[in-house]
Amino acid sequence: MTTQHKVAILLVLGICSVPLSSKSAELREQYLCVTEQASGFRYDLPRKAWRHSSFNVDQKYIVSLAREAGYAYQVTLLGKTSLLGLCKDDFDSMGLLSCNVLHGHFNFNKNSGRFIYSYVYGYFNVRPSDTGQEAEGDDTPNIQIGRCSSF
Q: Say what the pLDDT of residue 136 is.
A: 81
Compute the C-alpha angle 24/25/26, nearest 5°.
90
Q: Say what the pLDDT of residue 139 is.
A: 85
Does residue 146 carry a pLDDT above 70? Answer: yes
- Condensed to tens digits (0 to 9), the pLDDT of residues 52-74 reads 998 888 999 999 999 999 999 99
Does residue 135 carry a pLDDT above 90? Answer: no
The CATH number of domain 22-150 is 3.30.360:
no
| Mean pLDDT along residues 90-104 | 96
Q: Say what the pLDDT of residue 94 is.
A: 97
- Condensed to tens digits (0 to 9), the pLDDT of residues 6-32 reads 434 443 334 333 444 444 444 458 999
Residue 91 Cα distances to 36, 64, 94, angstroms: 23, 12, 8
Mean of all residue pLDDT scores within the chain = 82
The distance in angstroms from the start CA to the end CA of the chain is 40
